[in-house]
Structure 1
Amino acid sequence: MILAENVTVFNNTECTSPEPIICRLQSRYRTVEGICNNIFEPLKGAALMPFRRVLPADYSDGVWKPRKATDGSELPSAKQVSEDVHRQSYEEDHDFTVMLAVWGQFMDHDITATALSRGHNGKSISCCRSTDKNFTHPECFPVIVHEDKKECGKCMEFVRSSPASTCGFGPREQLNQASSYLDGSSVYGNTRKLQNDLRSWTSGRMKVFITEYGEQLLPPNKDPLDGCNEEAEMKKGRYCFLSGDARSNENMHLTTLHLIMVRQHNMIAGRLSSLNPHWDDEHIFQETRHIVTAQIQHITYNEFLPVLLGDSLMKRLDLYSQKTGYWNGYNSSMDPTISNNFATAAFRFAHTLIPSMMKFLKDNNSNPEFVEMRKMLFNPYRLYTCGGVDSVIRGAMNTSAGKSDAFFTPEVTRHLFEKNDGSRRTGGQCGLDLVALNIQRGRDHGLPAYPRWRETCGFPRPRSFNDLEGHVEPATLQRISKLYKSIDDLDLYTGLLSEKPLEGSILGPTITCLLADQFLRIKAGDRYWYETNEKPQAFNEDQLSEIRKTTFAAIICDNSDEIESIQLHVMHSNRKVGNDRVSCDSLIKTSLDPWKEEYDTAVTAAPARSPTTAS
């Protein structure tokens, strides 16, 4: 390690990055990839690193083969578990809106991106075409469909996650392509090339596409093989979109939120440019990115997480933002790396929040248009229509979320990625089953069975199914005990979702434990956390005070086209007491006046900028 002029060069011994790592310790801004956030361990939390293990991996051979039942037999088919335990439900939670799930997916994609194994020359792997196991790709781990459910074929496509390089012997680990920091990478990307492609290189702004109606959309992705673009739509000049995350076209709500945050960036960049005409494009872009990332952190920890964890736990773990002043809780020994159990099981609970039908609303008083959720997937073309963006936003704020429990809409268990003609976007018959895929992914990643996680969280470890009485609804527990031969076979995902929720929360105790641990690490292990007092990355107190005024509602009002009224807490229903719709003009807005610099001061004291971030 060489230290000179606030530049640290780490002679990296990790085979994940053979080049020396250069850390500029006086950079105000994060690197794109998350490298050098921790100055003692610069790769900690960075993109393209393995997920963190809380418990040792559980593989049947101790190395890479998915686990079996404790008696050595095969575990029940993930599809059968989905069908028998996670049954169909259309029940909604009228306290919350779909915006809860949308924000959850948006910020999940900021911190997790599991890489899939690829075939020769990077081609996709097919696992269900060959009937001869000898000709099946070794990275195949298809979901077996039991005898009475074969109207959609005998197996469901499933390719194992790409193994991470760990430069040594040991069990198979998986690669997280995203950085573990909540750093706005969904908006800005986590590679310099992608970030450069998203920038307009004028006044710090990001690229947008202007429709014939004068509305701003994300820039088009004109790659015909991107997995989203449809030939008929391309002939009309309508494409899927390019953003900081390749999954932004997965559903129309998510695409719209990506757009809202890009509009937010450009709005702030425009104001900073007006306040500081002496700032160049690079300075405006990086400072705007700094602000928008802070706003994403603020909304996540003050509007989203309290719904999941409950008020008392948020206070006990000091997860809420400070009311005033700085937060001094950064701990360089705290590992923020996303855990395998979080990415593969715990945070996938939000799939229960997805309802069957989505609404589109032209205005708050019009009759809604109802659309099946499956028709929202990889289908962002409504956004090209006049008023399309606002209709999606209004619909999301006025559609109740699904109830958080062990049950799912058939839109995700039977019709996932199903086209309008009943075929599947990825080929084959019928749609996929997201719940079965989640269970199978946990087995692929070597996640230990559910009882060990209860013990890890400090709860009594169940030794039999009877030990879960009172913690799991009787009917669900009965179905679990019929499928699994032993309590020690129970998949983590199924166990977590089957728990009764804690009082004042939508989640059970074990999943709450796992989520709280990870979100504490994301905050306490981030040297660039927006409330830090560490210079040069710290905002001054006036700037921080303005960032704390951020609300999701205000961002929507500022960046929609014609939305004029909104509920203050957009993840909560406006039917809740005290959450009536109010005029957008009545909302408290963030002022950027504290960012105004005197020109003479700026010449000599402009914030330091890192080349690794500034490209």
Structure 2
Amino acid sequence: MGGIQYICLLAFIIGASLLTTTDANSSRDVNAELNRIPASKWLQYVETALDSVNRQKRLEDNLLGSDITVKNGSLSHAQLLDTLPSLASKKDNKLALKILKSSLLVLNSECLPNNIDGDKCRSYLEQKPLPVGSSLRTECENSLKGNREGHHAFRRLLGSSHYRNGFYEMFLNVGRRETVPAAWSISKELYEPDHIQTSKQQTVDSNFNLALPQWAQFVEHDLSKPVSQSMSNGAPIECCSRDQINLQPRHHHPACAPILYKPGGKYDVPSCLNYVRSALAVADCNFGGAEQLNQATGSLDLSQLYGFTAAAERKLRVLEGGLLRSTPRGEFDNALLPIATDTEGPSFCARETIGDGTCFAAGDSRVNSSPFSILIYTIFMRNHNKVAAELKQRNHRWSDEKLFQAAKAVNVDIYRRVVIEEWLPEVLGQKMASEIRRKQPNRALEVSNEFAVAAIRFYFSMLPNELLNLTKDNVVYGTEKNNEYVFISKELPTKNLFELKEEIYKPKLQYTSQKLNNILESLLNQETMKMDAAYSGGVVWHKDTKPTHADILAFDIQRGRDHGLLPYYRYLESCVLSRPVESWKDFEHFIPSDVLDKLKTIYASWADVDLIVGGISENPVHGSVGPTFSCIISEQFVHVLQQNQQKAVQKHTELVEQYRHFNGTKLLCLSSGLSAVPQNIFQLPSARNQMVSCEDV
């Protein structure tokens, strides 16, 4: 089925599901029952919820008094940086939690006693305004009138959520209550300990280089940032002890949903990885269920580099010559990102002590998530400053503000075109990437929950444990008997440039301009891991010992459940099959038999398979991902393209046109010290993708 068919079918299913969720008679019964609730009782539920919030503050005081906090340099600190909330996000979440608590009181006091299930109750409450005259209604209305820094709720592709109570209660593996397997156990079962020892053909993708997953992460940072909840005073929440074991119940914050794994012995203590539930958004001043907040702007605007707000952007500017801060100031070709100040450090790097290695600052707390990330942020910082310098030479009288905004417009346009015209076809395939340009989206331009916490996270499956030292001094290009244009490794003086697990939010490399050149050159020459359910050991924790780094797949599974994503089969039905899934057999055409057999041993039912697990298990089609993730990603980019069209009419349009000749090759050449790069920067060098001299671009 073609890409455009996926999107059309998805839109059809969305419309159909919204019409058929509850039959008319049932809706009338629910309305009749709940309409009997007097106004005084609605007000009482709100006031009781506010009292509950105050009681939670006392619990938080006890936690802080017991030193149950996130420690600098801990695994929880690194996880926090991935989901670091702003002050505005914390404020939105506090308000949203008050509304949710009010709604849960109605659920438990009115709906369930009258045999109205959670989904029907939620549908009713989402149309019910908060009581007029209540302090919560006033607070909500004032919030919606104010500057919310572009925050919005993630939208849901199929219109409904997947919670035990219809509102917020996660499906978890707790005692005998659930049949769903624990997130960490799924990750461990899917991990293949001999993955690296198997033949190279079985584990790596001979088409794509590591720039493809690198850019996927950068795009994710731009479009999506779910953030974690915080205590009432803004302090981060800790759900595990310093020894990485589960806390006593009296020390559990209500927002905790730690990722636990019990090795299996009778007296074994479960290992614990911190997971704090995502912050919630306020969409309107009605009752209702949980909807997660997106702190990112949701458009391709390089907000991860420039900041999500005007205030954040100003901190990153030199305020002279239209330049962004860099290290050292005034350098263009060899500049590094600005070094985080002592005050900024804990918001960018997971270090025990200030000054322990290099820590960079940018518009997003995720900049130091890996050397791959640091590199691409640096490339676009350099490009901005080079453009600003060129504009200043031609326009001596332009102010700093005019130079900055013009250089930013050019930089963003170059970035958008590389993403849409070069990166996206490698992810979706050329045909689907072209077709989405002709599709008109509905009016909702927000990022989908399914894209943010599942589909765009595919890139972690493609990352290796280490970046090999494949710089120009260590490789030569030549031909072999099959007329393939390949690199031939010499004896490497240094086997690898870094191990990924050692660098996540803890930059240990001695960063120089030459070091970044080495990383870029090696990245362009190294194959990705194959897109599959077996992540490399650098991003999952597969041992039965105390974890020393995070488990990305377990985290993504847990977050999908936190966000109430529907099971995998629902999206397969909507995007691909156009009919109901009835058994494991319906997965056979999309998931390799050996992986499917493994899923059958992990999950009690095909209906329980998590979206992220099903998506990464599919065979890639046309591009680098399977049909379900292709569908979700393409649907999102229909909306992204529409936003780009709306923003294209701007005062810098004529200037932007002067840089239309920029492509990925030119961007990398002019923003690095490399002498040559592949013509297609996302594919390995080959006879079909030859190296281009940077002198010729």
TM-score, normalised to structure 1, is 0.79
Asked if 1 retains the 8 angstrom alpha-carbon contact of 2:337 and 2:361, the reply is yes
Which residue among 336, 339, 347 is the counterpart of 2:445? 336
Which residue among 66, 74, 77 is the counterpart of 2:182? 77
Which residue among 608, 613, 625 is the counterpart of 1:507? 625
- Over 3 Å counting, the alpha-carbon distance change for 1:539 and 1:137 in structure 2 is same
Which residue among 18, 22, 46 is the counterpart of 2:143? 18
User: Aligned partners of 1:256, 1:152: CA distance in 2, in Å?
Assistant: 40
Matched, 1:225 2:334: no
- Over 3 Å counting, the alpha-carbon distance change for 1:211 and 1:362 in structure 2 is farther
Which residue among 684, 694, 697 is the counterpart of 1:573? 684
- Over 3 Å counting, the alpha-carbon distance change for 1:230 and 1:163 in structure 2 is closer
- Correspondence for 2:44: none
User: Aligned partners of 2:405, 2:679: CA distance in 1, in Å?
Assistant: 29
Displacement after TM superposition at 1:373 (Å): 1.7
Matches within 5 A, 1:363-512: 363-365=472-474, 367=492, 369-370=495-496, 371-382=498-509, 384-385=511-512, 387-414=514-541, 429-459=547-577, 460-502=579-621, 504-512=622-630
Amino acid at match of 1:516: S
Amino acid at match of 1:281: D
Which residue among 141, 144, 149 is the counterpart of 2:260? 144
Amino acid at match of 1:85: L
- The range that moved more, 352-361 or 170-179, is 352-361
Which residue among 443, 454, 461 is the counterpart of 1:345? 454
Matched, 1:204 2:312: no
- Over 3 Å counting, the alpha-carbon distance change for 1:551 and 1:233 in structure 2 is farther
Asked if 1 retains the 8 angstrom alpha-carbon contact of 2:409 and 2:656, the reply is no
Matches within 5 A, 1:179-194: 179-194=297-312
Amino acid at match of 1:53: R
Asked if 2 retains the 8 angstrom alpha-carbon contact of 1:252 and 1:380, the reply is yes
1:103-131, Cα deviation, whole Å (9 max, x unpaired): 11112101111110113532222223354
Asked if 2 retains the 8 angstrom alpha-carbon contact of 1:160 and 1:441, the reply is yes
User: Aligned partners of 2:674, 2:617: CA distance in 1, in Å?
Assistant: 39
1:181-233, Cα deviation, whole Å (9 max, x unpaired): 11111221111111001111111111111299994111110235336265778
- Correspondence for 1:116: 228
- Correspondence for 2:3: none
Give the superposed CA RMSD. Answer: 3.0
User: Aligned partners of 1:16, 1:339: CA distance in 2, in Å?
Assistant: 25
Q: Alignment length, in residue pairs?
A: 523
- Correspondence for 1:128: 240
- Over 3 Å counting, the alpha-carbon distance change for 1:231 and 1:137 in structure 2 is closer
Amino acid at match of 1:57: S
Please say which structure displays the higher CA radius of gyration: 2
Asked if 2 retains the 8 angstrom alpha-carbon contact of 1:152 and 1:429, the reply is no
Amino acid at match of 1:228: C
| Unaligned residue ranges in structure 1 (runs of 5+) | 1-11, 22-34, 36-42, 320-328, 417-421, 588-615
Asked if 1 retains the 8 angstrom alpha-carbon contact of 2:155 and 2:446, the reply is yes
Asked if 2 retains the 8 angstrom alpha-carbon contact of 1:158 and 1:437, the reply is yes
- Over 3 Å counting, the alpha-carbon distance change for 1:407 and 1:231 in structure 2 is closer
Matches within 5 A, 1:32-111: 47-55=150-158, 56-67=160-171, 73-88=178-193, 89-90=195-196, 91-111=203-223
User: Aligned partners of 1:134, 1:231: CA distance in 2, in Å?
Assistant: 27
- Correspondence for 2:467: 358
User: Aligned partners of 1:106, 1:14: CA distance in 2, in Å?
Assistant: 36
User: Aligned partners of 2:138, 2:660: CA distance in 1, in Å?
Assistant: 41
- Over 3 Å counting, the alpha-carbon distance change for 1:510 and 1:230 in structure 2 is closer
Amino acid at match of 2:162: D
User: Aligned partners of 2:636, 2:513: CA distance in 1, in Å?
Assistant: 41
Displacement after TM superposition at 1:75 (Å): 1.1
User: Would you tell me which structure has more helix in proportion to its own residues?
Assistant: 2
- Over 3 Å counting, the alpha-carbon distance change for 1:19 and 1:100 in structure 2 is same
Asked if 1 retains the 8 angstrom alpha-carbon contact of 2:410 and 2:656, the reply is no
Asked if 1 retains the 8 angstrom alpha-carbon contact of 2:560 and 2:611, the reply is yes
Asked if 2 retains the 8 angstrom alpha-carbon contact of 1:189 and 1:244, the reply is yes
Displacement after TM superposition at 1:528 (Å): 4.1
Displacement after TM superposition at 1:505 (Å): 2.3
- Correspondence for 1:162: 279
- Over 3 Å counting, the alpha-carbon distance change for 1:227 and 1:210 in structure 2 is closer
Matched, 1:552 2:670: no
- The range that moved more, 96-105 or 360-369, is 360-369
1:458-478, Cα deviation, whole Å (9 max, x unpaired): 523311112222221112112
User: Aligned partners of 2:666, 2:567: CA distance in 1, in Å?
Assistant: 43
- Correspondence for 2:410: 291
- Over 3 Å counting, the alpha-carbon distance change for 1:583 and 1:527 in structure 2 is closer
Amino acid at match of 2:180: L
Moved over 4 A (4+): 149-153, 211-214, 229-233
User: Aligned partners of 1:293, 1:347: CA distance in 2, in Å?
Assistant: 20
User: Aligned partners of 1:101, 1:304: CA distance in 2, in Å?
Assistant: 10
SS in 2 for 1:94: strand
Asked if 1 retains the 8 angstrom alpha-carbon contact of 2:204 and 2:529, the reply is yes
1:12-61, Cα deviation, whole Å (9 max, x unpaired): 9994873757xxxxxxxxxxxxx9xxxxxxx8xx7321111112111101
- Correspondence for 1:172: 290
Asked if 2 retains the 8 angstrom alpha-carbon contact of 1:263 and 1:559, the reply is yes
- Over 3 Å counting, the alpha-carbon distance change for 1:231 and 1:452 in structure 2 is closer
User: Aligned partners of 1:358, 1:151: CA distance in 2, in Å?
Assistant: 36
SS in 2 for 1:407: coil
SS in 2 for 1:95: strand
Displacement after TM superposition at 1:556 (Å): 1.5
